[in-house]
């Protein structure tokens, strides 16, 4: 079983360069194996988002600084979600907007369609 708190802790460690990205990737692979059997939906979604960032890094689409920025954003977002597990759709929308800005460093384009991180 892997928890959102454990993942967030590791994301922050990588972002602050206290944990090597390769070691984090190895830890995540071991801890998330069969997570669909015993981990929360939020943990599964967070791992999915982290794996997308790692894939972009592996493909050369992101450098390590961009990975750290995205990891900081994901840790903050999922902390906010954990603090208010019963977030209303409006709160989910605000978190999604924050995710975009934190992960990209840019404001989303006008008319951008947001997908809530958690479904009610």
pLDDT tens for the 120 residues of the chain, in order? 899 999 999 999 999 999 999 999 999 999 999 999 999 999 999 999 999 999 999 999 999 999 999 999 999 988 877 665 544 444 444 445 555 455 555 554 444 444 444 443
Q: Considering Cα of 104, then 105, then 111, then 115, what sign does the dihedral take?
A: positive
Name the token pair of 69: 């920025």
pLDDT at 78: 84
Q: What is the largest CA-CA distance in the chain?
A: 40
Please report which helix (H) or strand (E) contains residue 94, including its range. Answer: helix 89-104
Torsion of CA 114, 39, 8, 73, to 10 degrees: -10
Q: Is 0.75 surpassed by the pTM of this model? A: no
Q: Where are the domains of the chain?
A: 4-104
Please report which helix (H) or strand (E) contains residue 53, including its range. Answer: helix 41-58
């Amino acid at each position: 079983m892997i928890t959102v708190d454990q993942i967030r802790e590791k994301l922050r460690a990588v972002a602050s360069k206290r944990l090597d990205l390769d070691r984090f990737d190895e830890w995540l692979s071991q801890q998330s194996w069969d997570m669909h059997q015993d981990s929360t939906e939020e943990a599964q979604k967070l791992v999915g988002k982290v794996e997308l960032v790692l894939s972009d890094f592996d493909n050369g689409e992101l450098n390590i600084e961009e990975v750290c920025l995205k990891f900081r954003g994901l840790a903050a977002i999922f902390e906010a979600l954990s603090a208010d597990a019963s977030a209303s759709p409006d709160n989910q929308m605000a978190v999604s907007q924050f995710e975009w800005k934190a992960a990209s460093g840019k404001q989303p384009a006008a008319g951008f369609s947001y997908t809530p991180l958690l479904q009610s």
